Structure 1
Amino acid sequence: MQSYLDFEKPVADLEGKIAELKSLSGDARAVTIDDEINGLTARADQALADIYRKLTPWQKTQVARHPQRPHFSDYIKGLITEWQPLAGDRKYAEDPAVQAGFGRFNGTPIAILGQEKGNTTETRLKHNFGMARPEGYRKAVRVMDMADRFNIPVISFVDTAGAYPGIGAEERGQAEAIARCTEKCLEIGVPNLAIIIGEGGSGGAIAIATANRVLMLENAIYAVASPEASASILWKDAARAQDAANNMKITAQDLLGFGVIDGIIPEPAGGAHRHANTVMTNAAAAISTFLRDFPGTKSRLQVREERREKFMAIGSTLN
């Protein structure tokens, strides 16, 4: 069943009427209503296109968090073959919030990192809603070390509200683990690509998004803090999250203009949660382009230097 956001109510009303008419159309006694269904479908499609053509930053935040939006596991199923996840950081424990391992993309071996939010109550609790603990970042470092040793490119799928802020995580060195993971992203001599597929929140996202190329889905967000947290800090009122989102420049379009990201992966009207297959196709094209743009003739030093220069240049052209 489709889950609707508040601003999608006009579409919800139209699609509700369509569903009612379709249930009647199966009745042999009902009059032919195909024309009416087709008319309402066209109106619903147009309403959806009109809404998604002018989404506000807060509305994009809601789309990025949509419970039916494809998550890490969906991208693995849709894009990767021979997926072999690895568990544990070899120091403390396994963290299901971070998924890491190896697989093949169109036959090419790649290392894959990502945060998994989960799709049901059970899996959301299992994966801690995609909020990683220190051991998750140390597992990511472990996989990146292996990828670097065997000269395998790294692809990250970023989707987290932020690192887990619990006492236990802080006691086990959350900040240090994030810093080491970010350092490893900068240090490896193999090309890496990060795709922000939903939320890119704070250092929890940056830890695996410090890459040669950073891409965002059209309706994803990327910010130093969530709109709710920012509103709490700025105005002592989390209810002003919408105001914060509208002022933080968290959308893909804003961040591309600032040079924080390198490209936008388009989503059809209605978002990735309505058009998962199309978004998978678009993401696959972006990954293919990235792997083609980094031929094996580039030295490890060139790969590292290009990555370093990319991040050092952020903000240098702003007035």
Structure 2
Amino acid sequence: MNILEKEKKLLSLEKQINDLGDSSTIEKLKNEIASFKETEMSQLSAWDKVLLARHPQRPKACDFIEYLFKDFIELHGDRLFRDDPSIIGGIGTLDGIAFTIIAQQKGSTTEENIIRNFAMPHPEGYRKALRLMKQAEKFHRPIISFIDTPGAYPGIGAEERGQGQAIANNLLEMSQLNVPIITIVIGEGGSGGALAIGVANKMLMLENAIFSILSPEGYASILWKDSNKAPLAAEEMKLTAKDLKDFNIIDEIIKEPIGGAHQEKMTVFEKTKKAIIKAYTELSQLSGPDLSYQRNTKIRSFGFLQRFNYDNLGGFKNDLYKNIRNR
């Protein structure tokens, strides 16, 4: 039973409470619900966390922005082609501190997802983000980015307009900025599409968010020629917040309520606010050149392949090498 099926069972139990009038039965059901949450919904697999990261009710970037930055002013366009709705950019204040905010935005409905291109940015989206980040550096504003994307849009038009170049240029330019950069992974962090706004001094991650080189379905299709093995792929990919904290790729995990961030959104917003202020307070002690140096040193120290113990992967390692040779 995955987390979504458990959630349906929990909702069914809660509905029974509303339909009952007998207080003793209600108390019994409440105890059953509490036990179910503690034993079933707090022990999550990597695939459960993938499902929670994609949950349609999970708070989106605009929800965080609306709660944290009451005076947010959105800015549009890359000054070259058009405005990309899949990336939101603008200026807002948090506890009296002015920030430049960059965020990948998923839709809450099918219609909004189509407008937002399912949070898969085009090159003009990344160029808009970089334009605003360079503006932030000019006016000495710290930068906050919210990551929530399956990946950069792979369409022909995006490739013709320089998708790879736009991502690569963002990585280069962000590594050199002389202002604090704080990144929060709030849902999916997919491939270069996430990295393009994720070169940061501090990377924070919600407990049930994911960050990976591609989707588990894509990984399973490449490795085993079977996308149905996505749950197994999710375990092998080490894409959870805990895994990434162990690898020192992220700096802090923001705890979520049992059942995911959508269960108690305000609690998650408050915890995120505290984590941002804490990170900014630490980074504000550094000079511009020191911020750039710290960011580059942090990235170069990942040593991901060296940290990953391939010797213990057995047949998986052999399958991986064989598939790489055959591609």
TM-score (norm 1): 0.92
- C-alpha displacement of 1:23: 3.6
Partner of 2:76: 87
Whole-Å Cα distance in 1 between the matches of residues 11 and 30 of structure 2? Answer: 7
Secondary structure in structure 1 of the residue aligned to 2:140: coil
Q: 1:12, CA displacement in angstroms?
A: 2.9
**Distance 1:90-1:14 versus aligned 2 partners, 3 A rule:** closer
Equivalent-residue separation in structure 2 for 1:89 and 1:188 (angstroms): 18
| Partners of 1:8 and 1:51 within 8 A in 2 | no
Alignment-derived partner of residue 22 in structure 1? 18
Distance 1:232 1:18, change over 3 A: closer
CA deviation vs aligned residue, 1:98-157 (integer Å, no higher than 9, x gap): 111110111210000110011011111110110000000000000001000000000011
Selected match of 1:204 from 189, 193, 203: 193
Amino acid of the residue matched to residue 133 of structure 2? M
Distance in 1 (alpha carbons) for counterparts of 2:30 and 2:67: 28
CA-atom RMSD in angstroms? 1.6
- In the alignment, structure 1 residue 307 sits paired with structure 2 residue 308: no
Q: Paired residue for 1:49, among 38, 41, 44?
A: 38
Tell me by how many angstroms 1:268 deviates.
1.3
Unaligned runs of 5+ in 2: 310-327
Question: Which has the larger displacement, 200-209 or 37-46?
Answer: 37-46
1:263 to 252, 258, 270: 252
Distance in 2 separating the partners of 1:8 and 1:172: 39
Q: Corresponding residue for 2:171?
A: 182
Matched, 1:99 2:99: no
Partners of 1:134 and 1:10 in 2: CA distance: 39
> How is 1:64-143 mapped onto 2 (pairs within 5 angstroms)?
64-143=53-132
Compute the displacement of 1:20 (Å): 3.7
Q: How far has the Cα of 1:183 moved from its partner?
A: 1.6
Provide closer, same or farther for how the CA distance between residues 218 and 34 of structure 1 changes in structure 2, counting only shifts above 3 A: same
* Aligned-partner SS, 1:209: coil
Q: Percent identity?
A: 43
Q: Distance in 2 between matches of 1:220 and 1:172?
A: 30
Counterpart position of 2:221: 232
Is the Cα–Cα contact under 8 Å of residues 8 and 48 in structure 1 kept in the other structure?
A: no
| One-letter identity of the residue aligned with 1:71 | K
Report the secondary structure of 1:95's partner residue.
Answer: coil
Distance in 2 (CA, whole Å) between partners of 1:53 and 1:290 is: 27
1:277 and 2:273 aligned = no
How far 1:14 moved relative to its partner?
Answer: 4.7
CA distances 1:279-314 after superposition (whole Å, capped 9, x unpaired): 11110110010111122x522100100001000110
In structure 1, the partner of 2:50 is 61
Q: CA deviation at 1:82?
A: 1.0
Partner of 2:314: none
Distance of 1:183 and 1:37 partners within structure 2: 59
TM-score by length of 2: 0.90
| Range with bigger deviation, 11-20 or 242-251 | 11-20
Preserved CA contact (<8 Å) 1:14 1:40: no
| Conservation of the 8 A alpha-carbon contact between 1:259 and 1:315 | no
Distance 1:42 1:229, change over 3 A: same
SS at match of 2:121: coil
Query: Does the aligned pair in 2 maintain the 1:156–1:209 contact within 8 Å?
Result: yes
Letter in structure 1 aligned against 2:180: P
The separation in 1 between residues aligned to 2:242 and 2:10, in whole angstroms, is 30
Partner amino acid, structure 1, of 2:234: A
Q: Deviations over 1:18-75 (max 9, x none)?
A: 32442454xxxxxxx2332232123223212323332111111001100000010100
